[in-house]
Amino acid sequence: MNNPSPLTALNPPAHVPPTTNTQIRAAAIVWADWAIQDRAHFTYTEGPERSHMFNSKPGSLPQSADCSQFCASLLHWAGVEHGLPKPQQPLTDTDYTGTLLVKGKRLTVDQVRPGDLIVYGPGTGTHAVFVLARISATDFWLASHGEQGDPSRVKHSDLVSYFLRAGHPGVTFLAFLL
């Protein structure tokens, strides 16, 4: 499948804190694209080292994370400090899909923008991904870090089909930026 890149980051951006929500979204997208390009230096893990990426210097390699820590780390590296509905709840190196669901502002599919997150599955969720670009009214390019060999660029529609077949229906769209 040909996965066009919405942004290209051959070299990661200098870590200069963005100041506006638009700049923060753009920085997070560049970090996600950088991670996809450097996937050979990423390890998927659900063990204690899953918090490595969140706590490391932005752009450093190698990296270790699970899906939720990958998403939280991209936002954190770009300058997001906390969730929207409850600003007193910061993003942390222990966040998982369930805490992302609590800390993010729920969106409709029409409201989703690049830089938002999607959580698949019922209850506290099964998998979290980062939105790179809108393809259509209901489809997006995503950065997903759910197995060895990731992060990779995938389509939202493909993940919806996968999780339905796997018996994990449900999609929640989340914003951490206005």
* DSSP labels, 110-141: GG--TT-EEEESSTT-SEEEEEEEE-SSS-EE
Stated pTM of the model: 0.90
Is 159 contained in some domain?
yes
Position 11 in a domain: no
Q: What is the pLDDT, as a whole number, of residue 81?
A: 87
Q: Is residue 9 part of a domain?
A: no
Q: Is position 10 within any domain?
A: no
Could you list the residue range(s) of the whole structural domain that residue 28 is in?
21-175
Q: How far apart are CA 12 and CA 59, in angstroms?
A: 6
CATH number of 44's domain: 3.90.1720.10
Q: How many CA atoms lie within 13 A of 43 on its CB side?
A: 12
Count of structural domains within the chain? 1
Residue 5 lies in a domain: no
8 assigned to some structural domain: no
7 domain-assigned: no
Alpha carbons 62 and 38: distance in angstroms, whole number: 9
Q: pLDDT tens digits, the chain, 178 residues: what are they? A: 444 444 444 444 555 566 789 999 999 999 999 999 999 999 999 999 999 999 999 999 999 999 999 999 999 999 998 887 666 789 999 999 999 999 999 999 999 999 999 999 999 999 999 999 999 999 999 999 999 999 999 999 999 999 999 999 999 999 998 8
The verdict on residue 97 lying in a domain is: yes
Cα 162 to Cα 93, 114, 127, 150, distances in angstroms: 28, 22, 11, 16
